[in-house]
Amino acid sequence: MKPYITDPAVSASYPHKYLGIFGMLWVTFLIVATFTATKTFSIGPVVFSVAILAYPFTYIFADIFTEVYGYRVTRKIVWTGFVCVLIASLVTYLYSIVPPSDSYTYNEAFRSIFLVSPIIAIATMLGFFGGELTNSYILAKLKIFTAGRWQGVRYIGSTLGGQFVDNTTFFLFAFLAAGVFTVSELLPLVLSSVAFTTIWETLILPITYRFIAFLKHAEGLDTYDKGTNFNPFAFRQLSASNLVLKSD
């Protein structure tokens, strides 16, 4: 069997078979979570945002991207997702201020959801920016440190760290900027969201293992981010030597 490509620069420039498909699915889950985040529900005394039902998939996909394609590719997908969320939130905000027709009787309900969409989108982007980059950084570093072993520890540990940063930032910003949540809801929402996502990723690990194994084999990639610049704003072009190495 042909050995997997492990170099991050070569991996980033390699023609990817499935990245576009799963990148679009990732953006879909991110947008759905953004526009549903203001609704809460309870299971007993525990309060959740309804977005928690879709949001864990954004981290599961991000773990897969980092594990197979590397941090550089994940960073590009994250920025692309941010642009998509921002465009969607601005467009829906404009829709919310368009005067309704006389026959449309649900305008107030429509406005209550989408009038604050830019604020929720910014909260999502800030939270996900800090959380996902924390998640990908921890995962990439742990992969090098463990020489690719202990997959479960790497996935769960990176999700736990990323989710804590993400949810704290999101709920605090949404509360301060728009008063979407109450003070009493903030800490329960953060803790319940972190716990739910971490538990969900733990339960789905057997499926994640198999999917990652399939994707590594199909793509011929198993990226180790040795020498990667983890600056989230770094988008340096690949060098000519990397392109030559890819073609060999």
pLDDT digits (tens, 9 = 90+) for 51-94: 888 888 887 888 889 889 988 888 888 888 888 888 988 998 89
Query: What is the value of pTM for the model shown?
Result: 0.75
Q: Angle at the Cα of 159 (from 152 to 166), degrees rounded to 5?
A: 180
Distance (Å, whole) CA 81 – CA 31: 8
What the block records as the tokens of 24 is 């679009």
Calculate the alpha carbon distances from 27 to 20, 84, 208, 213, 219 in Å: 11, 7, 19, 23, 21
Q: How far apart are CA 159 and CA 93, in angstroms?
A: 31
Query: Does residue 49 come out as left (phi exceeding 0), alpha (psi in the -120 to 50 range) or beta?
Result: beta
Structure tokens at 58: 């954004």
Helix (H, G, I), strand (E, B) or coil at 54: coil
Q: Identify the weakest region by mean pLDDT among 39-43, 143-147, 234-238.
A: 234-238
Enumerate residues 6+ apart whose C-beta is below 8 A from 166. 127, 128, 130, 131, 132, 134
Q: What are 72's strand-pairing partners?
A: none
Q: What is the mean pLDDT of the chain?
A: 81
Amino acid identity, position 178:
A
Nearest CA-CA partner of 68 in 133, 14, 122: 14
What distance in Å separates the CA atoms of residue 219 and residue 238, rounded to the nearest whole number? 19
> How far apart (Å, rounded) are the C-alpha atoms in residues 218 and 231?
29
Segment among 28-37, 40-49, 104-113, 226-235 with least mean pLDDT: 226-235
Tens digits of residue pLDDT in 147-158: 777 777 787 788
Report the candidate in 207, 97, 189, 112 with the shortest Cα–Cα distance to residue 152. 207
